[in-house]
């Protein structure tokens, strides 16, 4: 039985908490024993809602050991791994602490605010012989796994073009409004758009250059609306857009359209469609489990079986941050074509 500690029960942390409570009901061999959050009011059930259906509103916290100080939890608890769902600017600091304590680490996306911090996390994992995985959930999302299989297999030939979009209401539900503080969250590029940056990296590898047009709407939040072109040596046309100022009744949407030499794959309004050019389009059978559940199962299976973290290897998720850094630099220079290091 693996013993886990959850650090942070904000919006995404509660989504993780739901999964550990599901594990308990399923008799899955992972037990959440301790929870830490600096805001003790959360242990009284005082939460702010987010923009997607993640996390319940009522929990029985009496079955967990509760902390408001990370160092105290790491010192007192005997754990196998920690699950970090903290504000982005704390990811590297807390992950390195946990790794140095001899614990495996699952950390929410984005990996960190900078690629230098990502490198620190990877070095700490290597030095301590522990596993580190970043919860880039789209790598475990069934509709995106289908796309990955078609890209890797070449079933429809080469990719000629790809478009990704993600958008929704302004995130005003975070503790002390950290999400709208560029210095703590990295803004829309590092927090929300990073999902599609990571998908482009996972599917196609690092682009040679990026060109990003972006705008700041909310003072102090960084870039809130953006469009990036990713430039690859083979000439495929790849673009991703994001907007977290779509308030009112818009809700939240994520979608993609990817064109190949012999077909296309479309994911819009929650519907996946595969369209070969030599036959009828169809909706493939896929897992009904969410990427949030499947990523934690994958990580814990890697711990139980002592297998490498390959689907979301930390070196790969660090490359995602390197791409995002180039996007920020390009945006600050009016869309100037910028190399990815």
| Domain 139-289+320-339 superfamily per CATH | Dihydrodipicolinate Reductase; domain 2 (3.30.360.10)
**R_g (Cα) of the chain, nearest Å:** 20
**Per-residue pLDDT at 46:** 82
Smallest CA-to-CA distance from 170 within 110, 126, 218 is with: 218
**Per-residue pLDDT at 15:** 95
Mean pLDDT, 10 residues at a time, over the chain (341 residues)? 97 95 97 97 81 67 98 98 98 98 98 98 98 98 98 98 98 94 98 98 98 98 98 98 97 98 98 98 97 98 98 98 99 98 95
**Per-residue pLDDT at 47:** 80
Mapped to the 3 state alphabet, what secondary structure does the chain carry? CEEEEEECCCHHHHHHHHHHHHHHHHCCCEEEEEEECCCHHHHHCCCCCCCCCCCCCCCCHHHCEEECCHHHHHHHCCCCEEEECCCHHHHHHHHHHHHHCCCEEEEECCCCCCHHHHHHHHHHHHHHCCCEEEECHHHHCHHHHHHHHHHHHCCCCCEEEEEEEEEECCCCCCHHHHHHCHHHHCHHHHHCCHHHHHHHHHHHCCCCEEEEEEECCCCCCCCCEEEEEEECCCCCEEEEEEECCCCCCCCEEEEEEEEECCEEEEEECCEEEEEECCCCCECCCCCCCCHHHHHHHHHHHHHHHCCCCCCCCHHHHHHHHHHHHHHHHHHHCCCCCEECC
- Respond yes or no on whether the N-terminal peptide bond of residue 183 is cis (omega within 30° of 0): no
**Per-residue pLDDT at 121:** 99
In 10 A of CB 146, how many CB atoms? Answer: 17
Residue spans per domain, the chain: 2-135+293-307, 139-289+320-339
Mapped to the 3 state alphabet, what secondary structure does 226-276 carry? EEEEEECCCCCEEEEEEECCCCCCCCEEEEEEEEECCEEEEEECCEEEEEE
**Per-residue pLDDT at 246:** 98
Integer CA distances (angstroms), 317 to 101, 120, 281, in order: 23, 13, 33
Smallest CA-to-CA distance from 179 within 164, 157, 194 is with: 194
Choices 3.40.50.620, 3.40.50.720, 3.30.565.10, 3.40.50.11310: CATH for 2-135+293-307:
3.40.50.720
Specify burial of residue 261 (Cβ count, 10 A radius: 0-12, 13-18, 19+).
exposed
C-alpha 266/C-alpha 257 separation (Å) is 5
**Per-residue pLDDT at 33:** 98
Integer CA distances (angstroms), 6 to 3, 64, 296, in order: 10, 10, 12
Q: What are the structure tokens assigned to 75, written together?
A: 């010192």
User: What is this structure's pTM?
Assistant: 0.96
- Residue 6 φ then ψ, to 5°: -105, 125
Smallest CA-to-CA distance from 283 within 142, 165, 175, 183 is with: 142
**Per-residue pLDDT at 250:** 95
Going by DSSP bridges, is the β-strand pair 30-36/65-67 parallel, antiparallel, or unpaired? parallel
């Amino acid at each position: 039985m693996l013993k886990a500690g959850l650090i942070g029960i904000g919006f995404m942390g509660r989504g993780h908490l739901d999964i550990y409570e599901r594990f308990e009901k399923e008799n899955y061999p992972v037990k959440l024993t301790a929870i830490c959050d600096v805001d003790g009011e959360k242990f009284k059930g005082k939460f702010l809602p987010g923009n997607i259906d993640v996390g319940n509103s009522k929990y029985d916290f009496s079955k967990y050991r509760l902390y408001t100080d990370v160092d105290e939890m790491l010192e007192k608890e005997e754990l196998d791994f920690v699950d970090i769902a903290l504000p982005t600017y704390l990811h590297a600091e807390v992950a390195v602490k946990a790794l140095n304590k001899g614990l495996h680490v699952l950390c929410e996306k984005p990996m960190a605010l900078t690629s230098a911090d990502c490198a620190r996390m990877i070095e700490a994992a290597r030095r301590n012989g522990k596993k580190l995985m970043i919860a880039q959930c789209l790598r475990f999302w069934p509709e995106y796994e289908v796309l990955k299989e078609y890209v890797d297999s070449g079933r429809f030939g080469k990719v000629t073009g790809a478009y990704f979009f993600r958008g929704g209401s302004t995130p005003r539900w975070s503790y002390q409004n950290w999400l709208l503080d560029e210095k703590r969250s990295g803004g829309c590029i590092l927090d929300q758009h990073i999902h599609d940056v990571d998908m482009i990296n996972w599917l196609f590898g690092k682009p040679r250059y990026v060109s990003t047009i972006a705008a700041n709407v909310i003072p102090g939040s960084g870039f809130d609306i953006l469009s990036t072109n990713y430039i690859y040596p083979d000439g495929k046309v790849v673009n991703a857009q994001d907007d977290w100022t779509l308030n009112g009744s818009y809700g939240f949407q994520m979608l993609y359209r990817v064109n190949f030499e012999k077909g296309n794959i479309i994911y819009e309004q929650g519907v996946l469609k595969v369209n070969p050019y030599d036959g009828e389009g169809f909706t493939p059978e896929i897992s009904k489990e969410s990427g949030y559940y499947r990523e934690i199962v994958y990580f814990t299976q890697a711990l139980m079986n002592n297998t490498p973290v390959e689907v979301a290897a930390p070196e790969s998720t660090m490359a995602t941050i390197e791409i995002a850094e180039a996007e920020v630099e390009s945006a600050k220079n009016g869309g100037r074509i910028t190399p990815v290091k």
